[in-house]
Chains A and B, each alone.
Chain A
Amino acid sequence: MNNEISPPESGTLIYHLRDVIKTRESEGVAFRLNVPSLQIGQGEKIALIGESGCGKSTLLDMLSFILQPSEVGSFRFRPKHSDEKKKKKNDDESLDIKRYWDRGKQNYLGDLRRHHIGYVMQTGGLLPYLSVRDNINLSRHVLGMKNDDSVEQLAKELGIHHHLNKLPENLSTGERQRVAIGRALAHNPSIVIADEPTASVDPFAAEKIMSLFLELVEEMHITVIVASHAWQHIKRLELRRLSHHTRRSEDGSVTETVVKG
């Protein structure tokens, strides 16, 4: 609807989805998310706006490979290359995620996620037994990345460097979300997926955190997809908004959301 920025050229697509459907049923009411076509280019900033329950989280979970779609026409993923070795190997082709799903290769998808995806949850998602420093460093730690000052640097930019040695339970909600953003960015992923990262924070802080988040993402040349129920305060941030349309069947038994972009 609000496509001020046009979709990217197909050569640099990080995601390329066709006819991806997820169906869920609970207590006689079916929910269906339909993605006839979705193309997200590398370095793009995407906004997914909609009311709660319209399927935003479902789409984001599929894009981060933690939820398997019910039907897939095609689902391709092409991470950016952080080193030359991988570039040679994978340059020409994007990865066929559908195939990994079909074969139940959860561990391979986990590996992809570990290397290329950062995820910011709506709330929480921090490990209560790790300090802020270790929580941010977790995404680097699992990749065996060396300890440099990048965690400190990131914490400074996020304004939480004086909390580095505290446990998450001693932080406010807003500070915890900043830590979660830090963790999602620390390992320099190809893409960051954020599911209403500021929904639990007061609107003033929310706007601040969101701008900070998007600034960092742009600085680091990371593709980003943000879901939010409020368009207002991210309108200014020049995100491409995915179009979506929700309709309910006449007897009320099926709700379908169609996302395109």
Chain B
Amino acid sequence: MRPFKTLRLATRDYLHEWQMSGCFILALASVLGPMLVLFGLKFGIVGGMIDQLVQDPRNREIMPVGSGKFSAEWMTELRKRSDVEFIVPRTRSIAATIQLKSSNRSNIISMEVIPSEAGDPLLSALANGPDGLESIVLSKSAAAKLKVGVGDEISGSLVRRFKERKERAHLDLRVAAIAPADAFPREAAFTSVKLAEALEDYRDGHAVPMLGWKGSVGTKARSYPGFRLYAASIYDVANLHDGLVDLGIDVRTRAADIELVQRMDRNLSMVFWAIAIIGLVGFSLSLGASLWANVDRKSKELSVLRLVGFRTGDIMWFPMIQAIYTALFGWGLAAAIYHAASLTINDMLASQMNVGQQVCDLLPIHYMIALGLTAGSSIIAAALAGLRSAKIEPSEGLREI
């Protein structure tokens, strides 16, 4: 029953002294608000940048140097490794081109063919990948040059010299999707492995029955000169690199770039943690100091409550309840300040960021952590101050003024 009475009295006091309470709330928000903005910036900019660097598939690519002879089975084995995210065979680069023509453009454009399949890190942003012998994905620049969009029909063709004669084969294709500009900078068509193989077979003079292309029929086991390999994360690249080198396969990676990214990640995180810790300490001290001072200011009133018979425990709740109010309202105001600041910052820099990327960003969990820290340190400060004032003999508190 008495805790409820304390709650009522503390609330009435808090409202009665609304100017003082407002000052405490403002003081808290003015420290917490900028802290939230700082964290939002760290999380938005640095987090986003690091994410981008860490996630960028090009940093995870492992490219074989020169050409080798790799079997499909060997690649299947490699795919099973946990540090491998994606691997598809490449056909010979000289055979991996196709000439495309759209109804919107008169010229025929020749572009490279990149074998792909579901899970291709370069195409991870797309809903549809290349599929079967008809469906392909164009790079952004290829689509621009052909003036085509998703779902458009285009015709492909390729030429070979067969039995001293120049032959041209045609096939109908459909644009399943267009890869974003940063996935692949040049003009290229992502096709299924099967289509890339068909193109190579035709150029080698073999028949491709599925497309109705005639030629020699052979049953030679296929081997590939190269592969497209991506490690699961940038941290797996070095290990994968060493494994392949041990097998006598010379590969190239962006290890140096990765090292740079990792170092930057570490250094920036350190700088931000240093700022954050200094900020947090300052924040806790200012909050603690103001709550402590407040309890001191109120010691006479608290003594009066003891005089009318409130117990020590009830008295301690009094400043704690008020500290909780200050923490809640201060946090709310700080969140509003942060919200306004982040909207402004994001709006100002929107043109320089990728779509969906935020310069200043916080997740709901961050708000909750801020509230937890604020309420926690407020309650501790108020409880310590309350305990101190509860320990003073009431007669002393009463005669202070």
Contacts and interface: CB of A to CB of B under 8 A. Distances in A.
B62 to A, nearest CB: 72
Interface in A73-101: none
Nearest to B393: A67
Interface stretch (A41-49, A110-118, A198-206, A209-217): A110-118
Contacts of A111: 309, 311
Contacts of B307: 64, 66, 113, 119, 121, 125
B239 interface: no
Interface in B363-401: 393-396, 398-399, 401
Contacts of A144: 1
A142 B12 CA distance: 16
Q: Which of the four size classes fits the interface of chain B?
A: 20 to 34
A67 B399 CA distance: 12
Given A61-B395, A66-B394, A141-B5, A129 B304 contact: no
Q: Which of the four size classes fits the interface of chain A?
A: 20 to 34
Given A129-B13, A129-B17, A121 B398 contact: yes
A223 interface: no
B306 A110 contact: yes
Contacts of B12: 129-130
Contacts of B16: 128-129, 167
Interface string B13-34: 1011100000000000000000
A191 B307 CA distance: 14
A157 to B, nearest CB: 21
A171 interface: no
B2 A142 contact: yes
A213 to B, nearest CB: 18
A126 B312 CA distance: 19
A54 B311 CA distance: 30
B308 A114 contact: yes
A57 B1 CA distance: 32
A129 B301 CA distance: 10
A152 to B, nearest CB: 20
Contacts of B2: 142
Contacts of B306: 66, 110
B395 A67 contact: yes
A161 B300 CA distance: 27
A110 B311 contact: yes
Given A142-B310, A144-B1, A66 B395 contact: yes
Nearest to B391: A106
Interface string A30-63: 0000000000000000000000000001000100
A68 to B, nearest CB: 7
A107 interface: yes
B304 A115 contact: no
A119 to B, nearest CB: 5
Interface string A125-142: 111111000000011011
A105 to B, nearest CB: 11
B260 interface: no
A139 B307 CA distance: 10
> Looking at A57, A64, A121, A142, which has the most chain B CB atoms within 10 Å of its CB?
A142
B393 A127 contact: no
Interface of A: 57, 61, 64, 66-68, 106-107, 110-111, 113-115, 119, 121, 124-130, 138-139, 141-144, 167, 183
**Which 9 A-B pairs give the minimum distances between C-beta atoms?**
A114-B309, A129-B16, A61-B395, A67-B395, A66-B394, A129-B13, A66-B395, A107-B311, A113-B309
Interface of B: 1-2, 5, 9, 12-13, 15-17, 300-301, 304-313, 393-396, 398-399, 401
Given A106-B312, A121-B398, A127-B304, 14 more contacts: A57-B399, A66-B306, A66-B398, A68-B393, A106-B311, A113-B307, A119-B307, A119-B308, A127-B9, A127-B301, A127-B305, A128-B301, A129-B15, A139-B308
